[in-house]
Amino acid sequence: MTRRLEKEDDSRQGFPHYMLKEIHEQPRVLEITLASLLQGTSALDMLGIDRRYAQSIQRIELAACGTSWHAALIARRAIEELVGIPTTADIASEYRDWPRRQREGTLTIVISQSGETTDTLEAMRSAKRAGFRTGAIVNVPGSTMAREADGTIVTQAGTEVAIASTKAFTCQVAALLSIALGLGRMRGAMDAARERAVVQALERVPRQVETILRDVGSLARDVAREQIKPENFFYLGRGYGYPVAREGALKLKETSYVHAEAYPSGEFRHGPIALISEGVPVVAVAARSRQHDKILANLDEIREKGGTVIAVGTQGDADLERRAHRVLPIPETDEVAMPILAVVPLQLFAYEVAVSRGREVDSPRHLSKAVLGN
C-alpha cells in the first residue's frame, strides 16, 4: 500500500490532486499542440483536407458530449466568423439519431478526449452512413475514432487522469481554432490583418495561461472559500463567453456536487433572474468583447437584485471591477482566443470549491473518463 501511494504521489509531481497538476500542465501542452498545428503539419493536413476539398465544403457539423461539446460550441462560432461556412454543434447522443439525408459538401467533425465515447463514435458512424466526410479530434492515438475517421487530429495534452477534463479541453479548443484558421486561409475568407491577429493571439496563449496560473491561483482559492455555503450557482456569458460559462458550470457540478446552471447573459432576464436573491452567486465570463456593454448591464441588474457577482474579466477593466464583487483577471486577447484563457480561472475555482468541501476531486461519484454503452 505504501509503495503504491508513493508512486501516485510521484506521478502527481507534488500536486495534491491530478486535476490541479493537469490544470498547471496547460501552458506546456498548449504550446506543443499549437506548435504542431500552426508551425508544423497543419490541422487541415492532419484531417486530409486539401485546397480543392476546402473550397467544396458547404456545411460543417460538429458532434461531441460534455466538455467536448463546449469546445464544439466555441468552434461553431469561430468557423462561422472566420470562414463563413454554416456550422452546427450538436450533442452527439442527439446527432447520432437525427434523421439526415445525404448532402454534398458536408464535413462532420467529432470531438472526444478518449476517442471511445459511444455516443460520439455512433454519431461519426451515422455521418459516414450518410456519405459525409468525417474528421476526429481525440487525445488518444489508436482509439476507435482515430482509426475510423477519414482524418484525425491527435491533441498533445498527454494522459489525463482526473475525471474532470481540463488540459484536454483547452487543447481541443486550440485544435478547433486551428481548423477554423486553416479553412479561412484556404478559402480566402480572412484578410491578412485578421489572420495575423488570430495567429498572434494563439501564439501568445501558452505564456498567458502561465500568467493566469501564477496570478489567479491563490485568488481563486480565496473566492472559493467565500462561497463554501451556497448550493446553487449561476454562470453567464455572451458570444464566445457563453460556452466558457457552460464549461465552468459543468466543472463545478462534476467536482463539487453543487448545482450550477449556465445561461447566455441576455437570456437570463427571461425567467432565471427570478431566482436571484441576496447572496446568490453569479459567475460571469465578462472579458472585453463586442458585447461587453451588454453583459455589464446584466451585472448591474443582478447586483440590484442582491446577487454576488464573481467575474472572469480582462486585467485592468475598471468598469467590470466596479460591478463585480470579485474579479478573476485574464490578459487582454483577441475574442477568438479568449475562451482558452477564460476557462482557466473557472477550472481553478471549481477545483478550490471542491477541495474546500472535501470532495473526491480526481474521482467524482458516478462519473468515468470515457462514457461507454448505450
Q: What is the pLDDT of residues 223-272, one digit of tens each?
A: 999 999 999 999 999 999 999 999 999 999 999 999 999 999 988 888 88
Q: How far is CA 157 from the centre of its chain?
A: 14
CA proximity to 329, closest of 250, 205, 217, 203: 217
pLDDT for residue 161 is more than 90: yes
pLDDT for residue 160 is more than 50: yes
Residue 274, class by beta-carbon neighbours within 10 Å (0-12 exposed, 13-18 middle, 19+ buried)? exposed
Task: Look at the block and give the residue holding cell 489567479.
Answer: 216
The CA–CA distances, whole Å, from 133 to 54, 83, 125 equal 12, 18, 10
Beta carbons within 10 angstroms of residue 233's beta carbon: 25
Q: What is the pTM of this model?
A: 0.94
Work out the percent of the chain whose per-residue pLDDT is above 90: 85
Between CA 57 and CA 144 the distance in angstroms is 25
Asked whether 349 and 224 are in contact (CB, 8 A), the reply is yes
Higher pLDDT, 319 or 266: 319
The grid coordinates listed for 118 are: 459511444
Q: Do domains 2-190 and 208-356 have the same CATH topology?
A: yes
- Ordered by start, the domain boundaries in the chain are 2-190, 208-356
What pLDDT score does 374 carry? 61
Between CA 245 and CA 259 the distance in angstroms is 14
What pLDDT score does 262 carry? 96
Q: What is the pLDDT of residues 167-218, one digit of tens each?
A: 999 999 999 999 999 999 999 999 999 999 999 999 999 999 999 999 999 9
Handedness of CA 212, 156, 48, 37 (dihedral sign): positive
- The CATH architecture that domain 2-190 belongs to is 3-Layer(aba) Sandwich (3.40)
Between CA 180 and CA 12 the distance in angstroms is 35
- Average pLDDT rounded to a whole number, residues 85-96: 97
Query: What mean pLDDT is reported for the chain?
Result: 93
The radius of gyration of the chain from alpha carbons, rounded to an integer in Å, stands at 20
What pLDDT score does 98 carry? 84
What pLDDT score does 370 carry? 66
Residue type, 36: S
Residue 129, class by beta-carbon neighbours within 10 Å (0-12 exposed, 13-18 middle, 19+ buried)? exposed
Q: What is the pLDDT of residues 12-43, one digit of tens each?
A: 889 999 999 999 999 999 999 999 898 766 89
pLDDT for residue 328 is more than 70: yes
pLDDT for residue 293 is more than 50: yes
Residue 44, class by beta-carbon neighbours within 10 Å (0-12 exposed, 13-18 middle, 19+ buried)? buried
Superfamily of domain covering 208-356:
Glucose-6-phosphate isomerase like protein; domain 1 (3.40.50.10490)
